[in-house]
Amino acid sequence: MKKYLSDVFGAIGSLLKGMKLTGYYFTHHKEIITQEYPDKKIKLPERFRGEVVMTHDEQNEHACTGCTACELACPNGTIKIITKFDVTPEGKKKKALDTFIYHLELCTMCNLCVEACPTDAIKMAQNFEHSVYDRSQLTKKLNNPGSKIREGVE
Amino acid sequence: MISLADITAAINHWLYATLPGWAALLVEAVIVGIAAITLFAVLGLVLVFMERKVSAYMQVRLGPNRVGPGGTLQTLADTLKLAMKEGLTPDGADKFLFNLAPYVVIIAAMLILAPIAFAKGFQIWDLNIGILYVSAVSSLSVIGILMAGWASNNKYSLLGAMRSGAQIVSYELSAGISVVSIVILTGSLRISDIVASQQDGWWIFKGHIPALISFVIFIIAVTAETNRAPFDLAEAESELTAGFHTEYSGMKFALFFLAEYVNIFIVCAIAATLYLGGWMPLHIGHWAAFNHVMDYIPSSLWFWGKTFFLIFVIMWFRWTFPRLRIDQLLNLEWKYLLPISMVNLLLMALIAVEGWYL
Amino acid sequence: MIEEIGTTEAGELVINMGPQHPSTHGVLHLIITISGETIKKVEPHLGYIHRSIEKMCESLSYRQFIYVTSRMDYLSSHINNHGCALCVEKGMQIEVPPRAQVIRVLMDELTRLASHQLWWGAMAMDVGALTPFFHAFREREAINDIMEETCGARLTMNYMVPGGVMADLHPRFAERVKEFMRFFRSKMDEYDELVTNNVIFKSRMQGVGYLSRENAISYGCTGPTGRASGVSCDMRKIAPYEVYGRLAFNEILQTEGDCYARYLVRMAEMRQSLSIIDQLIDNIPEGDFQAKTKAVLKLPKGEFYSRVETARGEFGVYIISEGGTTPYRIKFRSPGFSNLSALDHMARGHKIGDLVAIMGTLDLVIPDIDR
């Protein structure tokens, strides 16, 4: 008999404690953590792995030598490098980058290509809104048209 | 100040003066019918929105806040969506019963609106067995649920409907006994008498301990009767059976959904009438000055405030507690709620006879 | 015996649960034989998310195959990566610098916390309380933000490499972690108020899904499932790796073996993780975060095995190498697979509502089971 009553009161007590907690959250509106996207833009940290981009400076020059280290490091064939042969002022033939093809649809953002690059030519950008209406827009060429390699990069 | 009772009396007077007797009655019936249906529709909209906002704030998020100013037109958008959905009747289902079931549930809910006193003198039908009528008619909704489960031709729906039927029928006992314990104090089944007897204080204060126990048991029992969490096994999505309204879509599903929310309103209105005084303002004993100040607040505001507070408490239950299993649910009723409410009834009778209440 | 959907000769009903279902966490197809409301037999059908990861790894080099394990048990992605890195280091005899060891352990414990938080929220949602889910995610988002600042990703973090970690900690890491711990300790008391002591929860979880010690050992249940039945199987204690040998923490054992015991073990593990992070966060040694290795890794010919303790149990990586740059065969021992095999034994004789509670406390992640 005593156990019956203590069961009942213990039960009611535990239920009321739970209700007190949700009642607290109901009345304190500053605890709300909803990020109102897309009304308020989200600021991403600088190491966020969005998509791979090639950095170009003001003279439209990049640092990619066409060594294909990133293509070898990528686990699923996202990067394809097409090289051409440039003629240097001394008349020697030197390998240079023609196009850097990057399949955004296959990329897993694992960062192995950025780690493998010896000249820090590519890095990860901070955007995650990659949706497009047309699939062909996801195959990107990372080097800008008319850009060439910076002097002194080996 | 013009009260609602004055408006209705004026309309009544005007109708009987201009039209012959039978026509006036007919027009009044039509007006009351339209008012009841409008009340249902508006209540449904308001309660669904309130549920979504209450649940959102308890879950540290914002609720609907895009459709309309502050999200108020959200339910309207949902209703339009449901109305445009295809209403599918499954093959092999009993067509007549399948189509009839939602209407039975809604009609049972509408009939209970009759004796509820919304404001001073503002009742549709003040019959002399008001509370007994409410208790009896609320049992009719079980028939609708069982019809829905049977007519769906789906073994999971039938399972869910049987469980739901067992649950509602058991919890009506405790609810009924709680109601009886207040009727003992009032001495009358008529709703206007019950409210008038709370002239000098609400029963929950005057009837002290037994009334408080009876109130708690009543709230638990009506949460179970309306299939609300933590007793919502019949319609839980994460259990195997999706309940008696699995096969319903479109407008018929909207009717079931609406009936559930209106049922919540009705049982809270009954609880407010019995325990918290209905439309009676908060009076304390014979403190005439305090009572006079309280009387300035219109009686309809008192009624709606109390009812919505109780609706909020029932919503609070839903978003805090997990679900009970079917055997634990029935266990709770037959082993805990029913014996306690019977003992409470005896206690209340003793108190009423000895006059130990305030 | 494969059961057909319908009615058996004994009058029992054979029904489907899943693969699309709100409470099987992932695509799990269960065929349940019930008689009335009581379960007679549960048969899981797997393979709906089999992606042949082990076969894929045969064509990836030793640096490349680590990212794939993040996608197996996505809630303990750091710990899975850690296991793979340990196996490669064992094969090539690479010495990991002390700073990298401490960073790895810190990331592991944060991941364990995040995984248990999601488990708590999802289990409460299965049993019927819909509010704790959002509270749990609020805490998990705090951990995800910390990870995002250092590793760059929130869920599948490819941060461990053979030899250390990919990048150094962000300068604000220690400060953010300390702030998070202060915030989370008060929340754990709230968790207890809302769920642990609640009478409805207790009555749904006590006495349900009993797994005895002998059965736990014979089914191979590790992790919190095994520890709740009294089996001492914490890899961090039995075979300490990295700095676990130096830390002061207990192995949490319960003996009841029912759902409530598994629940209590995981709640206590969350507090353990907090105390481990506390011991390490102020004493991160200076130094390299990555050992110098060759650009192309080649394991010598042989077989190598390493095991770590994920949030679900023992995760094992077994590499058979023929001496080339890609492995000949990799096998992953997933903890979920063994835990799931005990489901049939635990669920017999209970009701359908109990099955959902049992699956919630087993903490299954189906991609881990199917690989």
- Give B142-196 pLDDT, tens digit per residue: 888 888 888 877 777 777 788 888 888 888 888 999 999 888 888 888 888 888 8
- Over residues C174-196, the pLDDT tens digits come to 899 999 999 898 888 888 888 88
Q: Which residues pair with B81 in a beta bridge?
A: none
Q: How far is residue C101's CA from residue C107's CA, in Å, rounded to a whole number?
A: 10
pLDDT above 70 for B138: yes
| 3-state secondary structure labels for all residues of chain B | CCCHHHHHHHHHHHHHHHCCHHHHHHHHHHHHHHHHHHHHHHHHHHHHHHHHHHHHHHCCCCCCCCCCHHHCCHHHHHHHHHHCCCCCCCCCCCHHHHHHHHHHHHHHHHHHCCCCCCECCECCCCCCCHHHHHHHHHCHHHHHHHHHHHHCCCHHHHHHHHHHHHHHHHHHHHHHHHHHHHHHHHCCCCHHHHHHCCCCCCHHHHCHHHHHHHHHHHHHHHHHHCCCCCCCHHHCCCCCCCCCCCCCCCHHHHHHHHHHHHHHHHHHHHHHHHHCCCCCCCCCCCCHHHHHHHCCCCHHHHHHHHHHHHHHHHHHHHCCCCCCCHHHHHHHHHHHHHHHHHHHHHHHHHHHHHCCCC
The least confident of B53-62, B292-301, B324-333, C80-89 is B292-301
**Nearest residue on chain B to A25, judged by CA atoms?**
B58
B155 Cβ under 8 Å from any chain C Cβ: yes
User: How confident is the model over A83-95, as a mean pLDDT?
Assistant: 76
Give residue ranges of A with CB < 8 Å to any B CB: 8, 15, 18-19, 21-23, 25-26, 29, 31-34, 36
* Residue A146: per-residue pLDDT: 66
The least confident of B35-49, B233-247, B282-296, C298-312 is B233-247
* Residue C363: per-residue pLDDT: 86
Q: Tokens at residue C75, please?
A: 């809630």
Residues B268 and B318 in one domain: yes
pLDDT above 60 for C1: no
Q: Which amino acid is at A145?
A: P
* Residue B71: per-residue pLDDT: 78
* Residue C109: per-residue pLDDT: 92
Tell me the nearest-neighbour CA distance from C1 into chain B, angstroms: 23
Which pLDDT band holds residue C110 (cuts at 50, 70, 90)?
very high
- Over residues C276-285, the pLDDT tens digits come to 999 888 888 8
| CATH-assigned architecture of domain C6-370 | Orthogonal Bundle (1.10)
User: How confident is the model over B50-58, as a mean pLDDT?
Assistant: 88
List the helix and strand counts (H, then E) for chain B: 15, 0
**Nearest residue on chain A to C130, judged by CA atoms?**
A22
Closest CB from C129, C130, C204 relative to B325: C204
Q: How far is residue B337's CA from residue B327's CA, in Å, rounded to a whole number?
A: 14
Tell me the nearest-neighbour CA distance from A12 into chain B, angstroms: 10
Strand, helix or coil for residue C40 = strand
pLDDT above 60 for C2: no
Check residues C36 and C104 and name the one with the higher pLDDT.
Answer: C104
Counting one residue from chain B and one from chain C, the pairs whose CB atoms sit within 8 A come to 71
Residues of A whose CB is below 8 A from B61: 32-34
Which of B38, B1, B58, B10 lies closest to B321 in space, CA to CA?
B58
Which pLDDT band holds residue B307 (cuts at 50, 70, 90)?
very high
| Cβ contact B59–A15 (<8 Å) | no
C131 Cβ under 8 Å from any chain B Cβ: yes
Q: How far is residue B163's CA from residue B323's CA, in Å, rounded to a whole number?
A: 14
A132 Cβ under 8 Å from any chain C Cβ: no
C193 Cβ under 8 Å from any chain A Cβ: yes
User: How confident is the model over B307-311, as a mean pLDDT?
Assistant: 92
* Residue B240: per-residue pLDDT: 57
Residues B28 and B108 in one domain: no
Residues of A whose CB is below 8 A from B340: 8
| Cβ contact A73–C197 (<8 Å) | no
pLDDT above 90 for B292: no
* Residue C81: per-residue pLDDT: 92
What is the span of the domain harbouring residue B168? 88-354
* Residue B68: per-residue pLDDT: 77
Which pLDDT band holds residue B311 (cuts at 50, 70, 90)?
very high
Q: How far is residue A11's CA from residue B331's CA, in Å, rounded to a whole number?
A: 14
Name which of C127, C199, C325 to mutate to probe chain A: the one with the most chain A Cβ atoms within 10 A of its Cβ: C199
- Over residues C314-357, the pLDDT tens digits come to 999 999 998 888 899 999 999 989 999 899 888 888 888 888 88
Residues of A whose CB is below 8 A from B60: 25, 31-34
Show which of B33, B60, B84 is a domain's final residue.
B84
The least confident of A105-114, B209-218, B321-330 is B321-330
Residues of B whose CB is below 8 A from A18: 320-321
**Nearest residue on chain B to A19, judged by CA atoms?**
B320
pLDDT above 70 for A100: yes
Tell me the nearest-neighbour CA distance from B322 into chain C, angstroms: 4
Tell me the nearest-neighbour CA distance from B140 into chain C, angstroms: 27
Q: Which residues pair with A81 in a beta bridge?
A: A100
| Cβ contact B321–A36 (<8 Å) | no
Q: Hey, how many other C-beta atoms are within 10 angstroms of the C-beta on B292?
A: 11
* Residue A133: per-residue pLDDT: 92
CB B147 within 8 A of CB B310: no
Show which of B47, B65, B84 is a domain's final residue.
B84
The dihedrals phi and psi of C14, each to the nearest 5 degrees, come to: -115, 115
Count of domains for chain B: 2
Q: What is the mean pLDDT of chain C?
A: 87
Q: Which amino acid is at A49?
A: R
Q: How far is residue C88's CA from residue C72's CA, in Å, rounded to a whole number?
A: 18
| Cβ contact B320–A36 (<8 Å) | no
Which pLDDT band holds residue B358 (cuts at 50, 70, 90)?
low
User: How confident is the model over B102-117, as a mean pLDDT?
Assistant: 87
* Residue B164: per-residue pLDDT: 83
Residues of C whose CB is below 8 A from B324: 200, 203-204
Residues of C whose CB is below 8 A from A18: 193-195, 198
**Nearest residue on chain B to C18, judged by CA atoms?**
B240
Residues B69 and B137 in one domain: no
CA C4, C6, C11, C12 torsion: positive or negative?
Answer: positive
> Which residues have C-beta within 8 Å of that of residue C55, sequence separation ≥ 6?
none
Give residue ranges of B with CB < 8 Å to any A CB: 54, 57-62, 316-317, 319-321, 336, 340
C302 Cβ under 8 Å from any chain A Cβ: no
* Model pTM score: 0.87
pLDDT above 70 for A75: yes
User: How confident is the model over B322-344, as a mean pLDDT?
Assistant: 87
| Cβ contact A26–B57 (<8 Å) | yes
Name which of B57, B65, B311 to mutate to probe chain A: the one with the most chain A Cβ atoms within 10 A of its Cβ: B57
Tell me the nearest-neighbour CA distance from A13 into chain B, angstroms: 13
CB C89 within 8 A of CB C96: yes
Q: How far is residue C342's CA from residue C11's CA, in Å, rounded to a whole number?
A: 26
Closest CB from C131, C148, C152 relative to A22: C131
| Cβ contact A19–B59 (<8 Å) | no
CB B219 within 8 A of CB B275: no
Q: What ipTM was reported for this prediction? A: 0.83
Q: How far is residue A102's CA from residue A71's CA, in Å, rounded to a whole number?
A: 10
**Nearest residue on chain C to A123, judged by CA atoms?**
C152
Show which of B60, B84, B108 is a domain's final residue.
B84
Q: Hey, how many other C-beta atoms are within 10 angstroms of the C-beta on C223?
A: 28
* Residue C114: per-residue pLDDT: 92
| Cβ contact A26–B320 (<8 Å) | no
Q: Which residues pair with A84 in a beta bridge?
A: A96
Q: How far is residue C114's CA from residue C214's CA, in Å, rounded to a whole number?
A: 31
* Residue B237: per-residue pLDDT: 55
User: How confident is the model over A104-121, as a mean pLDDT?
Assistant: 87
CATH of domain A52-149: 3.30.70.3270
Q: How far is residue C231's CA from residue C27's CA, in Å, rounded to a whole number?
A: 29
Tell me the nearest-neighbour CA distance from B63 into chain A, angstroms: 10
Q: What is the mean pLDDT of chain A?
A: 83
CB C112 within 8 A of CB C100: no
User: How confident is the model over A115-122, as a mean pLDDT?
Assistant: 86
- Over residues C38-55, the pLDDT tens digits come to 888 888 888 888 989 999
Which of B267, B271, B181, B273 lies closest to B224 in space, CA to CA?
B267
Which pLDDT band holds residue B310 (cuts at 50, 70, 90)?
very high
C67 Cβ under 8 Å from any chain A Cβ: yes
Residues of B whose CB is below 8 A from C17: 240
pLDDT above 70 for C223: yes
* Residue C318: per-residue pLDDT: 93
CA–CA distances in Å: residue A39 to residues A35, B239, C105, C177: 9, 37, 38, 29
**Nearest residue on chain A to B317, judged by CA atoms?**
A19
Closest CB from C67, C149, C166 relative to A108: C67
* Residue A144: per-residue pLDDT: 77
| Cβ contact A20–C193 (<8 Å) | yes
